């Protein structure tokens, strides 16, 4: 029998970026907020100071920052003809665990989606005609203009360094000319660019493109955010993604919100407590709270007026399924919505090798890069191309961590004297142009519960059925050709094209941008949550995170995830609290 705990106003399931933002906003509104995090407490001086953080084996290859697959993983298959098998260790993506979630080990590449990304279905249909058969792309139900001030808030919270391209409608030289209208510039200037970015910028300009500095959550100067929390200048140590920042130089929940939040009398955090189920009353239309289990195996019943899912997207979808809220999507009947429109990110790259110039990539940072956006979203005419969407191309210098990053030219053997010679000769003299492609939803790609494999508590694992789609393949081929054109002009001795071909492989690292499964939309017939991220079925349940993306755009998701969280928090405060109930009438 579960022990019943005193009720709270709000319970947050998971405590990463969305949990921290929501907690800060709702405690400011005077609510009693409890966050339940299944991982442990983590802070900079204890868990990843500069004398500990730069350890490639421990943090990346031995997965210290990530969810523990021994306790729970997901199963994977490319398509329905296969049997899904457990991802016994992480590979293609790396969900985080513990306070700060994946927000602790991100690179800090902080984009806004394009205005047209939020209306992908109607925009592309208007311009190019009906979507291809099987493509289940839809509009978000919220527009860029509605989210603009929320993007701006997150950029100021984090001290994002960048260069505006569209300031209140006026195009700005040196910024991204394709971005949506901004109400304000970035709070900090761009990062310092290195040799590789200069070569990329020169090559891009020769091609008539408009390179701009990547928006970065690695501090370009000392910064005090609107909450009064201080961040230190980035030292370009090259240990961002997959690592905690020892320098307080990367915006993460711990360096932006937690120092203010943790001292509040109306906020409580419980770590090492995993939520098992969202509980409901007999009508099924009202969440009564959650049940959770601590490290001793004791189960608690936590009543709450509002339940907000703030875990990783894959977890949010699974918890909805395990709690029986909504119907799990079935592609054969087309019915059900939870688990629908699982999308990813379609990435490729072109390496550049120099003969006598040194890229010195150990002088790097997670969001140190130059970017072009000519081939993203609908920034270019897709007539006759056979796909919609696109992606940015960038020259990043993020690291020279040698187990992970040792580029070798075409024809290099995988081991032995030839491999060793090539690694030695090219380690400090290579860079690359990467493509960061969108992922459009198709009927067959989805999440549901696995019929065979279970977690440490005996509950079904999530099952992922996913492969690249015809749209993805045409798009990534096009983007890779464009990247090749730039790479050839960057002054190197030779290039190597790393195209994204064949079936999606769950093992080689690609990116931790898993989206969909709890999608947002305009009606209960096409979405799990409404435009305010409120469950259609259970109006006092909200779902945050990239799981609400109906499809993924050609940008890193965190900026848009955070803007949507601020937008939802605003709606809860200004509309839901005065009049609890559905904020959109079905």
Other Cβ atoms within 10 Å of 385 Cβ, number: 14
Q: Distance between CA 179 and CA 380 in Å, rounded?
A: 13
Q: Distance between CA 161 and CA 179 in Å, rounded?
A: 16
The single residue of 105, 150, 436, 513 carrying the catalytic annotation is 513
**Binding of other proteins by 168 (CB under 8 A):** no
Inter-axis angle of helices 558-571 and 17-28, to 10 degrees?
30
Q: Which of residues 402-431 bind other proteins (CB under 8 A)?
A: 402-403, 406, 414-417, 419-421, 423-424, 427-428
Residue 134 vs 233, nearer CB to other proteins: 233
Burial 458-482 (b: 16+ CB within 10 A, else e): eebbbbbbbbbbebbbebbbbbbeb
Least Cβ distance, residue 421 to other proteins (angstroms): 5
Sole window of 40-48, 154-162, 206-214, 520-528 interacting with other proteins (rule: CB under 8 A):
40-48
Residue 232 vs 322, nearer CB to other proteins: 232
Q: Which of residues 236-265 bind other proteins (CB under 8 A)?
A: 236-239, 246-247
Q: Which of residues 84-113 bind other proteins (CB under 8 A)?
A: 85-89, 91, 97-98
Q: Distance between CA 209 and CA 411 in Å, rounded?
A: 31
Residue 137 vs 237, nearer CB to other proteins: 237
Residue 302 vs 426, nearer CB to other proteins: 426
CA 523, distance to chain mean position in Å, is 25
Nearest residue to 504 via CA among 89, 79, 69: 79
Burial 120-146 (b: 16+ CB within 10 A, else e): bbebbeeebeebeeebbbbbbbbebee
Q: Distance between CA 373 and CA 211 in Å, rounded?
A: 8
* Size of the residue set binding other proteins (CB under 8 A): 76
Least Cβ distance, residue 312 to other proteins (angstroms): 16
Least Cβ distance, residue 369 to other proteins (angstroms): 14
Q: Distance between CA 78 and CA 464 in Å, rounded?
A: 8
Helix, strand or coil, per DSSP, at residue 474:
helix
Residue 128 vs 362, nearer CB to other proteins: 362
CA 429, distance to chain mean position in Å, is 30
Q: Which of residues 66-85 bind other proteins (CB under 8 A)?
A: 68-70, 72-73, 76-78, 82-83, 85
Residue keyed to tokens 């990239």:
546
Least Cβ distance, residue 39 to other proteins (angstroms): 9
Q: Distance between CA 555 and CA 239 in Å, rounded?
A: 21
Out of 353, 504, 532, 555, which residue is the one contacting other proteins (CB under 8 A)? Answer: 504
**Binding of other proteins by 505 (CB under 8 A):** yes
Sole window of 182-190, 319-327, 328-336, 354-362 interacting with other proteins (rule: CB under 8 A):
354-362
Long-range contacts of 404-408 (CB under 8 A, 24+ apart): 404/56, 404/60, 404/509, 405/361, 407/351, 407/353, 407/432, 407/496, 408/496
Residue 170 vs 503, nearer CB to other proteins: 503
Out of 51, 282, 283, 333, which residue is the one contacting other proteins (CB under 8 A)? Answer: 51
Binding mask 193-232 for other proteins (x = CB under 8 A): -xx--x----------------------------------
Residue keyed to tokens 């890779």:
480
Out of 358, 410, 451, 574, which residue is the one contacting other proteins (CB under 8 A)? Answer: 358
Q: Distance between CA 278 and CA 317 in Å, rounded?
A: 12
Out of 506, 511, 540, 558, which residue is the one contacting other proteins (CB under 8 A)? Answer: 506
The sign one gets for the Cα dihedral 355, 357, 362, 364 is negative
Whether 382 is a known active-site residue: answer no
Sole window of 330-338, 395-403, 469-477, 534-542 interacting with other proteins (rule: CB under 8 A):
395-403
Active site positions, annotated: 513
């Amino acid at each position: 029998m579960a022990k019943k705990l005193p009720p709270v106003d709000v319970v947050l399931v998971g405590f990463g970026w969305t949990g921290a933002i929501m907690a800060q906003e709702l405690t400011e509104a005077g609510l009693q907020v409890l966050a339940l995090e299944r991982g442990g407490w983590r802070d900079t001086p204890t868990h990843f100071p500069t004398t500990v953080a730069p350890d490639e084996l421990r943090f990346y290859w031995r997965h210290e920052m990530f969810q523990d697959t021994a306790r729970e993983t997901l199963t994977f298959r490319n398509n329905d003809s296969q049997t899904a098998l457990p991802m016994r260790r992480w590979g293609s993506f790396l969900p985080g665990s513990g306070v700060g979630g994946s927000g602790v080990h991100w690179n800090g590449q902080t984009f806004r989606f394009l205005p047209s990304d939020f209306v992908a279905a109607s925009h592309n249909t208007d311009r190019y005609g009906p979507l291809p058969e099987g493509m289940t792309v839809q509009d978000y139900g919220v527009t860029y203009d509605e989210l603009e001030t929320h993007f701006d808030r997150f950029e100021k919270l984090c001290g994002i360094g960048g260069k505006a391209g569209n300031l209140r409608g006026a195009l700005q030289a040196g910024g991204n000319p394709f971005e949506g209208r901004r109400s304000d510039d970035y709070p900090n200037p761009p990062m310092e660019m290195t040799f590789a970015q200069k070569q990329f910028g020169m090559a891009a300009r020769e091609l008539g493109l408009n390179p701009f500095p990547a928006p970065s959550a690695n501090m370009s100067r000392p910064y005090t955010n609107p909450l009064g929390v201080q961040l230190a200048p980035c030292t370009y140590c090259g240990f961002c993604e997959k690592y905690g920042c020892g320098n307080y130089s990367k915006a993460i929940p711990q360096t932006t919100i937690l120092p203010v939040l943790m001292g509040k009398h109306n906020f409580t955090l419980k770590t090492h407590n995993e939520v098992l189920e969202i509980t409901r009353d007999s009508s099924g239309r009202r969440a009564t709270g959650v049940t959770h289990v601590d490290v001793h195996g004791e189960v608690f019943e936590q009543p709450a007026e509002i339940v907000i899912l703030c875990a990783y997207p894959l977890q949010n979808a699974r918890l909805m399924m395990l709690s029986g809220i909504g119907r799990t999507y079935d592609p054969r009947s087309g019915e059900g919505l939870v688990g629908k429109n699982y999308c990813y990110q379609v990435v490729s790259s072109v390496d550049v090798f120099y003969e006598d110039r040194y890229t010195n990539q150990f002088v790097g940072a997670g969001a140190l890069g130059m970017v072009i956006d000519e081939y993203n979203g609908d920034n270019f005419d897709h007539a006759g191309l056979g796909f919609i969407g696109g992606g940015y191309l960038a020259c990043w210098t993020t690291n020279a961590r040698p187990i992970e990053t040792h580029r070798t030219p075409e024809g290099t053997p995988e081991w032995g004297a030839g491999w060793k010679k090539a690694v030695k000769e090219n380690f400090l003299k290579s860079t690359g142009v990467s493509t960061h492609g969108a992922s459009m939803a198709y009927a067959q790609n989805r999440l549901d519960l696995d019929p065979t494999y279970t977690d440490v508590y005996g509950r079904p694992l999530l099952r992922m059925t996913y492969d690249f789609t015809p749209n993805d393949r045409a798009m990534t081929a096009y983007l890779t050709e464009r990247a090749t054109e730039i790479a050839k002009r960057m002054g190197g001795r030779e290039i190597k094209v790393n195209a994204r071909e064949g079936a999606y492989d769950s093992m080689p690292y690609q990116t931790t941008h898993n989206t969909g499964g709890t999608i947002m939309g305009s009606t209960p017939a096409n979405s799990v949550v409404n435009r305010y991220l409120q469950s259609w079925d259970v109006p006092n349940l909200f779902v945050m995170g990239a799981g609400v993306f109906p499809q993924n755009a050609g940008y890193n998701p965190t900026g848009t995830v955070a803007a949507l969280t601020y937008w939802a928090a605003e709606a809860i405060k200004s509309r839901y609290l005065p009049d609890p109930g559905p904020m959109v009438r079905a």
